[in-house]
Amino acid sequence: MRILVTNDDGIDAPGLFAVSAALHTAGHEVVIGAPRIESSGSGTSLGTLEHGAVVAVESRRLPGLPTVEAFAFDCPPAFAVLAFCAGQFGPPPELVVSGINPGHNTGRSVLFSSTVGAVLTAQIAGIGGMAVSCGFPPSHRFDTAAEVAVRVVQWIEDNDARTLTLNVNVPDLDFDELDGMRVATLGARSLLGLKITRVDGGVELRRYDNTTGLANGTDAATVLAGSVAVTALTTVGADKSALTSALRTVVDVLDTAAV
């Protein structure tokens, strides 16, 4: 399967390399299109909508992946995804994989995540995708998350589910220690909290951990319990009734699947 790998941490980020290498080793046709620099928190922003604007793109070769085409974009990942889905860098991808993000993307705050925003953008173009996240350094486990990503992509291919958009959050455990895979809902609260405080000269942003008061069955609670959390996402322009029915079927299949 032809897979576009992107992220919001920049084309040189180790999480992007980890999932690209794992998918390439699994036999997929991988192509990389990612921001030149870190672009976290941009959601589905394209960066510009100016008529005639030229977004700089640089061809790259990543160490350890000499045969994989890679392109560094001077824009958020959503724009790069649109360019690939429009067929401007070879045949459009059959699937978009975004990540691996250091820091879980859970709860309603996924609205701000450009890791998630990248796959939501692909959905607008009729192409499914998967956002993959694990925890923050130094506890992050890109190796485990990459192995999970390969398994989920294989499930997507085997079940002809390429139009689905999934948000996958992986606990920072050895692969063999994972307590299976669970279908989860977006929680009202995320594992990552944000506090904004007025200070001299502006406002200060601070992150903090949310580890208590998480509702059972939510993505944050599922990850905290040691299971891979898989959440199906929808966006604008979908036939909601048909999509909801399809997602229910997939949810049933994933819910019985152990990692």
Tell me the C-alpha to C-alpha distance, in Å, between residue 74 and each of 12, 56, 167.
13, 5, 25
Q: Among all chains, which residue has been given the structure tokens 């019985």? A: 256
Cβ atoms of residues 28 and 20 within 8 Å: no
139 or 254, higher pLDDT: 139
User: ∠ CA 43-40-1 to the nearest 5 degrees?
Assistant: 75
Cβ atoms of residues 21 and 62 within 8 Å: no
**pLDDT given for residue 244 in this prediction:** 53
On the 0-12 / 13-18 / 19+ scale of CB atoms within 10 A, 206 is exposed
pLDDT tens digit sequence for 7-25: 999 999 999 999 999 999 9
pTM exceeds 0.75: yes
- The whole-angstrom separation of Cα 21 and Cα 17 is 6
**pLDDT given for residue 16 in this prediction:** 97
DSSP three-state, residue 159? coil
Backbone angles phi, psi at 218, to 5 degrees: -85, 165
Backbone angles phi, psi at 45, to 5 degrees: -60, 140
Backbone angles phi, psi at 194, to 5 degrees: -125, 130
- The whole-angstrom separation of Cα 98 and Cα 85 is 14
pLDDT tens digit sequence for 45-83: 888 888 898 999 999 999 999 999 999 999 999 999 999
21 or 190, higher pLDDT: 21
